[in-house]
Amino acid sequence: MIRRVLLFFSVNVAVMMVLSVLLALLGVRGEGLMGLAILCGVFGFGGSFISLQISRWSAKRAMGIALIDPNTPRPGMEAQLVQRVRALSQKAGLPKLPEIGVYRSPEVNAFATGPSSSRSLVAVSTGLLERMDDDAVEGVLGHEISHIANGDMVTMALLQGVVNTFVMFVARIIAGIIDNFLRGNDERGGGLGFFGYFIVVNVLQGVLFILAMPIIGAFSRWREFRADAGSARLAGAPTMIHALESLARNTGHFDKNDAALATFKIQGGVRGLLGKLSATHPPIPDRIQALRQRQAN
């Protein structure tokens, strides 16, 4: 857990430094509404897309993922995993076989990440391999391959960039209004001051991001339904339904400490604060019902 926190912190510091240098080179100072909009856009979209570009690297280090060499997998589980991912990837029309890895965890989960369909990673937990049968694993892998084929990581980065930009921009506009109001009512012209402005901006960003969470959650839930449908096409609807039923029996086995990757996993819990509105995954019974309706039609 400490390693994950340190990695998250160091990556974010590095991203901020890179973007700060870029802004300095471009001569952007954030003066005026246009300058502020550009500043927020660079940090909002820049941070999101840099995170996307290093998503495989950071996921492998945060989760301790052991990669499988697809050319020389060990007989048994590794060979079967490579065979399934290769077959599903070819069926989905991916230009390149994703990296395949396993991470040690009792959680019953899997995820896909990466900046493009030719630079992707599919990782499964040891808990999933131990608790699920072959058909259920097939359905889960089909779901993750569908995420890659659909370009879901890129669209999530775009959405996150829009939200980040909006939150940063509006927070600074509101903080500026508060600062001007205080200056107008203070004979000494004190206003918020540097530290007061910094605190107000960060509080406002936190509040605005919480208010934006239902937008991110709604899109994330929609893409989960779409990935389920994709797996139904690749592996068969009965296989994907069986996989979801297996997940439903193991809903208590997922790692709540990996919030940064929760959006990309096949199974996710309901987060606090805004509860169901901000959940990244639909309830499993709803996902099963959606597949059965598609099957009936």
Hey, which residues are catalytic here? Answer: 144
Q: Which residues contact 88 (CB under 8 A, 6 or more apart)?
A: 138, 141, 142, 145, 234, 235
Q: Is 198 left (phi over 0), alpha (psi -120 to 50) or beta?
A: alpha
Residue type, 114: G
* Burial annotation 177-194 (CB, 10 A radius, 16+ → b, else e): ebbeeeeeeeeeeebbee
**From CA 119, how far away is CA 141, in angstroms rounded?**
17
Q: Which residues contact 8 (CB under 8 A, 6 or more apart)?
A: 62, 260
Residue type, 20: S
Residue 130: C-alpha distances to residues 102, 105, 136, 183, 227 (Å):
12, 10, 11, 63, 23
SS3 272: coil
